[in-house]
């Protein structure tokens, strides 16, 4: 089957190099919100160039099948981009991570079969393909479980059981042994029938797939931001490994960039939670805590409730207000009402900023994305290190659907799921307004003493409804 375009090897390598440079520049631009849209376009352009040239020079499938695949994939991508809500972006990112890992595992397996059929067997390539298969399968099924937990179709509590570490180790050993069998048997025994050799790869895939499920099932919702970042790194590593299998430079570059950036982000997220990677995978944080009624008993007689009218009066005499968003804001899709309220406060001479915790929400940067969607100026967003020293000079803090990231017990507890975790010290402000549906704890299951502080007022209710009511009251009086 003839290729559509006959390019010399040097020309193809140059095109791949250009695409790789575009990936690097795109990633660099995405480090700042102002240049991030341009970075996305540059990176997408680099991928379009790499895929387009690969399609034109390949001779594996007919042009009709290749372009049909691109058309179907592109249509699905556009449909997802248009229909998926911003609040559901974490699980979509998780699925994309999984698709990358799954594709790498399948491509590596196809290359193994093709290599056997042509007789161009190489121990190094087969070993690399085995590694790509293990990482890719773990990434795919781990990402499916993570997305399911984020979307609520799988219980997001930490599922623990006796012997779980032994089970994980057993499936990892099976996958590694299958990879060794795949790699070493042909050169040791000479000609080996395809039916006796290649099935080792599928044993490897099945074992690694079960391992991926077992790795993520015991991890609770509190650790999902770290899991998403780590699975992103895995998908890049799988792609880069597959690039070595195919001797494809652009895949190596793209995969290495994704793998390295994902690992760096994972480390940052772990530091923000005072956690280690080993602790995330083997600790079991995120188990379901007490419900709202049980929390009522803990805080009995200590809770001060408020209303939108009272909050409006408090804001009337404030000079500085800090808004702290959390996952509750994302679930209720309250970001637009919050943004409009912040704009009105600013128009009335109040200094308004947003305090953003690195792990607020369900994925890295979740709050930033939501607020950007609502046209909140990036200059108004302050990270934990910037905003914490200013709380003691803040008149009012409005906490919207956040819990663990504002729990002061993290600073005082000697042990527990959030002990030592850096949190936003909102309790230092003169007045704290906490908007939540109930007194239930966050994913960590740890009660939050902030709710019972003398300077805290609880505004119970759905975040969108509560913020819209507050916005309406504020508009009526100004």
Catalytic machinery residues: 404
339's tokens: 């943004």
CA–CA dist 356, 48 (Å, integer): 34
CA–CA dist 400, 410 (Å, integer): 19
Tell how strand 320-325 and strand 381-383 pair up: unpaired
Residue 351 backbone phi and psi in degrees, to 5:
-75, 115
Residues 6+ apart with CB under 8 A from 204: 130, 133, 134, 137, 175, 178, 179, 182
420 Rama sector, left if φ>0, alpha if ψ -120 to 50, beta otherwise? left
Is residue 137 within a helix (H) or strand (E), and if so which, with residue range? helix 123-151
458 Rama sector, left if φ>0, alpha if ψ -120 to 50, beta otherwise? beta
Residues 6+ apart with CB under 8 A from 406: 324, 326, 357, 399, 423, 424, 426, 427, 434, 448, 450
365 Rama sector, left if φ>0, alpha if ψ -120 to 50, beta otherwise? left
How far, in Å, are 21, 111, 148, 196, 199 from residue 180 at the CA level? 36, 17, 33, 14, 13
36's tokens: 């991030």
- Encode burial over 51-88: b for 16+ CB neighbours within 10 A, e otherwise: eebbbbbeeeeeeeebeeeeeeeeeeeeeeeeeeebbb
Q: Quick check: 408 and 419 in contact, CB under 8 A?
A: no
How far, in Å, are 106, 107, 146, 175, 256 from residue 128 at the CA level? 13, 12, 26, 13, 15
State the Cα angle at 435 between 86 and 474, rounded to 5°.
Answer: 90
């Amino acid at each position: 089957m003839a290729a559509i375009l006959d390019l010399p090897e040097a020309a193809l390598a140059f095109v791949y190099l250009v695409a790789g440079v575009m990936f690097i520049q795109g990633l660099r631009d995405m480090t700042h919100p102002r240049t991030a849209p341009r970075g996305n376009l540059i990176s997408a352009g680099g991928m379009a160039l790499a895929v387009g040239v690969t399609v034109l020079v390949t001779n594996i499938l007919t042009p009709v099948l290749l372009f049909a695949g691109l058309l179907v994939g592109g249509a699905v991508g556009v449909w997802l981009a248009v229909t998926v809500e911003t609040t559901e972006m974490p699980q979509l990112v998780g699925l994309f991570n999984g698709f990358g890992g799954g594709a790498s595992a399948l491509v590596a397996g196809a290359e193994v079969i093709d290599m056997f059929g042509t007789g161009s067997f190489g121990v190094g390539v087969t070993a690399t393909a085995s590694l790509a298969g293990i990482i890719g399968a773990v990434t795919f099924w781990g990402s499916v479980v993570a997305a399911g937990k984020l979307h609520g179709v799988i219980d997001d509590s930490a599922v623990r059981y006796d012997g779980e570490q032994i089970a994980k180790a057993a499936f990892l050993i099976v996958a590694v042994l299958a990879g060794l069998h795949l790699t070493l048997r042909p050169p040791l025994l000479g000609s080996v029938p395809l039916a006796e050799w290649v099935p080792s790869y599928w044993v490897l895939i099945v074992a690694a797939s079960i391992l991926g499920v077992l790795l993520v099932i015991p991890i609770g919702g509190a650790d999902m931001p770290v899991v998403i970042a780590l699975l992103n790194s895995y998908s890049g590593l799988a792609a880069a490994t597959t690039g070595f299998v195919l001797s494809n430079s652009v895949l190596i570059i793209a995969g290495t960039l994704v793998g390295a950036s994902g690992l760096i982000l994972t480390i940052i997220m772990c530091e923000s939670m005072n956690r280690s990677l080993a602790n995330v995978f083997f600790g079991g944080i995120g188990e379901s805590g007490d419900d709202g009624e049980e929390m009522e008993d803990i805080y009995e007689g200590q809770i001060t409730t408020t209303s939108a009218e009272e909050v409006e009066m408090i804001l009337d005499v404030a000079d500085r207000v800090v808004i702290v968003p959390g996952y509750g804001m994302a679930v209720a899709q309250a970001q637009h009402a919050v943004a409009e309220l912040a704009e009105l406060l600013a128009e009335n001479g109040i200094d308004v900023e947003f305090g953003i915790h690195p792990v607020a929400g369900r994925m890295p940067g979740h709050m930033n994305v939501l607020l950007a969607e609502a046209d909140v100026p990036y200059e108004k967003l302050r990270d934990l290190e910037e905003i914490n020293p200013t709380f003691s000079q803040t008149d009012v803090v409005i906490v919207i659907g956040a819990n663990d990231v504002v729990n002061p017990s993290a600073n005082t507890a000697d042990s527990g799921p959030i002990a030592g975790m850096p949190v936003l010290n909102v309790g230092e402000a003169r007045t704290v307004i906490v908007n939540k549906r109930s007194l239930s704890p966050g994913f960590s299951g740890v009660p939050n003493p902030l709710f019972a502080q003398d300077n805290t007022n609880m505004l119970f209710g759905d975040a969108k409804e509560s913020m819209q009511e507050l916005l309406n009251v504020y508009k009526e009086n100004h």
